[in-house]
């Protein structure tokens, strides 16, 4: 245990005596002692500061001694240190040399003004988001045209690698979730349609809903969370470690080398996942109808053929690559926006997922209007 620090003021000899351990662990006590001791000294002209009884001293204690001498200088008191132990002299001198300016107070702004400011800043931010999206779309198209004109520049291995990651490795979880959603929709359908005796229409519900809307939307949202986020994190950490700058200096286009294979892989993978996901959903719906609703598989298949047209299937599949494109572009844009800190990497990854899910749903709405107007 370090000995207790003391700071006593002897009035008759005008001597300030410090003793004990002046270290970080006793700093709290010393601060109180200093405030107390300095109350007594006001009005005096000269004080002797006796440090001989200090047995332990570190930077914190040395700073305390420095604080006393600076405070005395402010009060126009002539403070003379006396009998400073020889092994503390270097430390005290080093501390004494540091600047005497007080720490800059951190700015506290009005919370209302801050809130208004952030709303104000969000609008030009929105415009720059749109610009960044368009820029990335343009850069990807330009890179794609270059690659088509000169196919040897295409990074096939990279594209296949990413196809494996976002397609093949994603398949099991996509199948499972689609299967479950199909089953849940069928179960709910049976439960409510049975009241009207309209059991057979559950097949229409499951078939049209899954093939046209939910199937592709579900897969797109899953891909945004699973693959989009990993694209953003990868590109962001590459940006942090200056890998993207290194590529540029080697005369390579990061869009062509990093982003094009990724976005292409996602664009290829998402329709495939949607196809298999829809199959799994129909299978799940059929299974629930059979086991829970008592509808035999033969009737289910026959009814499905009547209910579902090729158009429903087409509508779902046409949307898939566009959704993939949106997810890929948002992920790449956000990845490139990562700054130096770990916090910004997390922030951009979150932004990437939220934005791509939002845009996927908006896109789905636009497609619904479009298909309705062309009568599909």
Cβ closer to other proteins: 90 or 126? 90
CA-nearest of 266, 101, 59, 281 to 180 is: 281
122 contributes a contact to other proteins by CB under 8 A: no
Write out the two tokens for 313: 């299937």
Compute the distance between CA of residue 334 and CA of residue 352 in angstroms, rounded to an integer: 6
* Strand, coil or helix: 170: coil
Cβ closer to other proteins: 45 or 108? 108
Instruction: Write down the least CB distance from residue 233 to other proteins, Å.
Output: 15
Cβ closer to other proteins: 23 or 178? 23
What is the DSSP secondary structure assignment for residue 98, as one 8-state letter?
A: S
Contact residue for other proteins among 44, 95, 361, 376 (CB under 8 A): 95
Query: Which residues inside 321-360 make contact with other proteins, applying CB under 8 A?
Result: 339-343
Place of tokens 């996942």: 273
Does residue 14 contact residue 48 with C-beta atoms inside 8 Å?
A: yes
Q: Which stretch binds other proteins (CB under 8 A): 85-93, 255-263, 288-296, 322-330?
A: 85-93
Write out the two tokens for 202: 């559950």
Helix, strand counts (H, E) of the chain: 15, 4
Contact residue for other proteins among 10, 73, 94, 122 (CB under 8 A): 94
Cβ closer to other proteins: 242 or 306? 242
74 contributes a contact to other proteins by CB under 8 A: no
Instruction: Write down the least CB distance from residue 44 to other proteins, Å.
Output: 25
Cβ closer to other proteins: 67 or 153? 67
Query: Which residues inside 200-219 make contact with other proteins, applying CB under 8 A?
Result: none
Instruction: Write down the least CB distance from residue 112 to other proteins, Å.
Output: 24
Phi, then psi, of 83 in degrees rounded to 5:
35, 60
Instruction: Write down the least CB distance from residue 36 to other proteins, Å.
Output: 15
* Strand, coil or helix: 99: coil
Compute the distance between CA of residue 353 and CA of residue 350 in angstroms, rounded to an integer: 5
Instruction: Write down the least CB distance from residue 97 to other proteins, Å.
Output: 8
Compute the distance between CA of residue 327 and CA of residue 358 in angstroms, rounded to an integer: 10
Place of tokens 């890998």: 243
Query: Which residues inside 4-63 make contact with other proteins, applying CB under 8 A?
Result: 23-25, 27-28, 31, 58-60, 63
Q: Which stretch binds other proteins (CB under 8 A): 90-98, 130-138, 203-211, 228-236?
A: 90-98
Instruction: Write down the least CB distance from residue 23 to other proteins, Å.
Output: 8
Helical spans, DSSP H, in the chain: 27-41, 59-74, 89-97, 111-149, 156-163, 171-193, 201-208, 215-223, 229-240, 243-249, 254, 260-291, 297-307, 310-336, 342-373
Does residue 44 contact residue 71 with C-beta atoms inside 8 Å?
A: no
Cβ closer to other proteins: 25 or 114? 25
Write out the two tokens for 123: 């609008």
Place of tokens 């990279």: 158
301 contributes a contact to other proteins by CB under 8 A: no
Cβ closer to other proteins: 64 or 222? 64
- Between strands 15-22 and 46-57, the pairing is parallel
Cβ closer to other proteins: 203 or 338? 338
Contact residue for other proteins among 104, 109, 110, 373 (CB under 8 A): 104
Instruction: Write down the least CB distance from residue 232 to other proteins, Å.
Output: 17
Which residues are near other proteins by CB under 8 A? 23-25, 27-28, 31, 58-60, 63-64, 67, 87, 90-91, 94-95, 98-99, 101, 103-104, 339-343
């Amino acid at each position: 245990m370090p000995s207790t620090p003391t700071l006593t003021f002897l009035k008759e000899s005008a001597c300030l005596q410090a003793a004990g351990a002046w270290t970080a662990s006793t700093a709290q006590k010393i601060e109180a002692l200093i405030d107390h001791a300095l109350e007594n000294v006001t009005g005096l002209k000269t004080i002797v500061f006796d440090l001989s009884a200090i047995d332990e001293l570190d930077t914190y204690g040395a700073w305390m001694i420095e604080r006393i001498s600076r405070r005395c200088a402010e009060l126009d008191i002539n403070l003379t240190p006396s009998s400073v132990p020889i092994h503390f002299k270097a430390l005290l001198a080093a501390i004494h040399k540091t600047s005497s300016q007080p720490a800059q107070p951190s700015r506290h702004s009005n919370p209302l003004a801050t809130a208004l400011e952030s709303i104000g800043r969000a609008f030009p931010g929105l415009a720059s988001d749109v610009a960044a999206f368009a820029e990335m779309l343009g850069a990807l198209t330009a890179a794609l045209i270059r690659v088509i004109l000169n196919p040897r520049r295409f990074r096939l291995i990279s594209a296949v690698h990413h196809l494996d990651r976002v397609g093949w490795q994603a398949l099991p979880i996509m199948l499972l979730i689609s299967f479950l959603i199909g089953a849940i929709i069928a179960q709910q359908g049976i439960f409510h349609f049975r009241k009207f005796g309209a059991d057979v229409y559950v097949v229409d519900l499951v078939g049209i809903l899954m093939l046209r809307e939910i199937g592709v939307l579900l897969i797109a949202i899953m891909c945004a969370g699973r693959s989009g986020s990993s694209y953003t994190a990868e590109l962001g950490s590459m940006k942090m470690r200056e890998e993207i700058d290194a590529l540029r200096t080697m005369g390579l286009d990061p869009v062509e080398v990093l982003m094009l294979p990724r976005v292409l892989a996602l664009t290829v993978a998402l329709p495939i996942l949607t196809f298999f996901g829809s199959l799994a959903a129909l299978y799940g719906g059929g299974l629930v109808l059979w086991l829970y609703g008592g509808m035999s598989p033969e009737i289910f298949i026959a009814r499905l053929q009547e209910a579902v047209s090729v158009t429903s299937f087409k509508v779902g599949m046409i949307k898939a690559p566009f959704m993939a494109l949106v997810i890929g572009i948002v992920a790449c844009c956000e990845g490139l926006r990562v700054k130096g800190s770990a916090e910004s990497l997390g922030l951009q990854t979150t932004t990437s997922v939220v934005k791509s899910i939002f845009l996927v749903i908006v896109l789905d709405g636009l497609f619904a209007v479009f298909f309705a107007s062309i009568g599909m």
